[in-house]
């Protein structure tokens, strides 16, 4: 029971990665009321001696290997009085990103789900998940946050697939390479990928110049090709 007049404070994590060609989120299935059987974001109660980031990392560690989470940042505070059953609870949500080549071990009650085909979710966790994806989409335009979705080394074609999946629209590989190279985000590794089954010229491998978040172009937008005939970003 909460002390009278006090509001409980939870922390939640929207952990995203690109699975195949779609963004996926990590959810666990509740085994108790309220909303038994529904799928929820990892998280829990804010500890009395914790700040919110320390708390969300503690709760995340119970669901996923934190070494596989390449980036964590605060998303928003969700405080609608009707966001869940009584007693009232406020939640501070974070976004966490896992590279596409990582496959962290998760408990039996936890699984990855496509964001565009979520199972029945607990409370407002579906809305929070979609807000997390929108944050990622926005930051792909004006930061180097793609480093948290990509493997250590990748071809431009592989990077284009990751950006297109996260953004939800087609992305020009040529334009993406030009923009990210101009911003100093991409550097060649000097090596090539293994040839595919059909042979052909091996594709050059690239890496991100740094694997920490920074703003690269505050006013940039990565638009769908049909909305950006000039190809500018």
Same topology, domains 8-140 and 143-227? Answer is no
Mean pLDDT (the chain, rounded) = 92
What is the topology classification, in CATH, of domain 143-227? Arc Repressor Mutant, subunit A (1.10.10)
% the chain with pLDDT above 90: 83
Helix (H) or strand (E) holding 162: helix 156-167
Provide the pLDDT for residue 227.
56
Token pair belonging to 114: 């496509």
Do 27 and 41 meet the contact criterion of CB atoms below 8 Å apart? yes
Task: Tell me if the pTM is above 0.95.
Answer: no
The CATH number that domain 8-140 falls under is: 3.90.79.10
231 pLDDT above the threshold of 50: no
Q: Residue ranges of the domains in the chain?
A: 8-140, 143-227
Q: What single string gives the DSSP state of each residue in 3-48?
A: PTT--EEEEEEEEEEEETTEEEEEEEE--SSSSTT-EE-SEEEPPT
Q: Cα–Cα distance between 42 and 143 in angstroms, integer?
A: 26
Provide the pLDDT for residue 97.
98
Better pLDDT: 160 or 195: 160
Provide the pLDDT for residue 3.
52
Provide the pLDDT for residue 232.
43
> Could you read off the pLDDT of 161-171 as tens digits, one per residue?
999 999 999 99
Provide the pLDDT for residue 223.
77
Where are the strands (E) in the chain, listed by range? 8-19, 22-29, 39-40, 43-45, 71-78, 89-97, 110-114, 186-192, 204-208
């Amino acid at each position: 029971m909460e002390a009278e007049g006090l509001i409980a404070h939870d922390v939640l994590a929207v952990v995203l990665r690109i699975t195949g060609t779609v963004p996926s989120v990590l959810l666990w299935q509740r085994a108790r009321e309220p909303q038994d059987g529904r799928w929820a974001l990892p998280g829990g109660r804010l500890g009395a001696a914790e700040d919110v980031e320390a708390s969300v990392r503690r709760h995340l560690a119970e669901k996923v290997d934190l070494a596989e989470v390449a980036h964590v940042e605060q998303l928003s505070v969700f405080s609608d009085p009707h966001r869940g059953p009584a007693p009232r609870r406020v939640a501070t949500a974070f976004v966490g990103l896992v590279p596409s080549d990582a496959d962290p071990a998760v408990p039996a009650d936890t699984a990855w789900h496509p964001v565009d085909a979520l199972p029945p979710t607990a409370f407002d966790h579906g809305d929070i998940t979609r807000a997390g994806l929108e944050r990622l989409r926005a930051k792909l335009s004006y930061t180097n946050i793609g480093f948290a979705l990509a493997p250590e080394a990748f071809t431009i074609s592989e990077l284009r697939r990751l950006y297109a999946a996260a953004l939800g629209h087609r992305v020009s590989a040529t334009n993406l390479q030009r923009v990210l190279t101009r911003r100093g985000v991409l550097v060649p590794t000097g090596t090539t990928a293994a040839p595919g089954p059909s042979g052909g010229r091996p594709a050059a491998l690239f890496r991100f110049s740094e694997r920490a978040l920074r703003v690269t172009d505050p006013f940039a937008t990565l638009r769908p090709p049909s909305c950006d005939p000039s190809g500018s970003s």
